[in-house]
């Protein structure tokens, strides 16, 4: 069932990076996607489809919405906005 840490990993990593760096969730998502592309090239070579999926972190729309919502909520709370 596991496809190399793209769904749940992205769902957790994006809000974590957004809150630690005080950046928007979309920017954190871009960072996670780019970091994965550059650090997991061996995985991409082993599987013909993995590299294509690296653009979709998290994998599902529900995971993406959860990650971006959480990133926004955490950043607002850290800034004292809510």
pLDDT (tens digit per residue) in 40-67: 665 555 555 555 555 667 888 899 999 9
pLDDT value of residue 8: 84
| pLDDT band with cut points at 50, 70 and 90 for residue 7 | confident
Torsion, CA 35, CA 39, CA 44, CA 45, rounded to 10: 150
pLDDT value of residue 9: 85
C-alpha separations of 15 from 40, 52, 66, 74 in Å:
21, 23, 9, 7
Whether 10 shows a pLDDT value over 90: the answer reads no
Q: Are 59 and 45 in contact (CB under 8 A)?
A: no
Whether 6 shows a pLDDT value over 80: the answer reads no
Cα first-last separation, the chain: 38
**pLDDT, averaged across the chain:** 80
Write down the H helix ranges in 40-60.
Answer: 41-46, 50-53
């Amino acid at each position: 069932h596991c496809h190399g840490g793209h769904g749940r990993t992205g769902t957790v990593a994006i809000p974590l990076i957004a809150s630690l760096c005080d950046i928007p969730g979309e920017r954190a998502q871009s960072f996670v996607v780019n970091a994965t592309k550059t650090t997991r090239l061996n995985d991409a070579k082993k599987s013909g489809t993995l590299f294509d999926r690296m653009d979709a972190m998290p994998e599902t729309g529900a995971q993406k919405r959860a990650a971006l919502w959480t990133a926004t909520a955490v950043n607002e709370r850290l800034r004292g906005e809510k």
